[in-house]
Amino acid sequence: MTEAELQGTVLDAARLFGWIVQHNADSRRAHPGWPDLVLGHSERREVVIWELKSAKGRVSKAQETWLELLSGAGYEARVIRPDDLEYAIDRLQHPRSCWGKPDVC
Of 73, 58, 65, give the one whose Cα is nearest residue 34. 65
**Tens-digit pLDDT string for the chain (105 aa):** 999 999 999 999 999 999 999 988 776 777 889 999 999 999 999 999 999 999 999 999 999 999 999 999 999 999 999 999 999 999 999 887 676 665 656
**Distance in angstroms (rounded) separating the CA atoms of residues 105 and 100:** 10
**Distance in angstroms (rounded) separating the CA atoms of residues 80 and 78:** 6
Domain boundaries, the chain: 3-98
Beta carbons of 64 and 32 less than 8 angstroms apart: no
The pTM of the full predicted model, rounded to 2 decimals, is: 0.87
Predicted local confidence at residue 104, as pLDDT: 58
- Which stretches within 23-100 are classed as H helix? 61-72, 85-93
What is the dihedral angle through the alpha carbons of 56, 60, 64, 70, rounded to the nearest 10 degrees?
-100
The dotted CATH code for 3-98 is 3.40.1350.10
Q: Which residues pair with residue 51 across a beta bridge?
A: 79
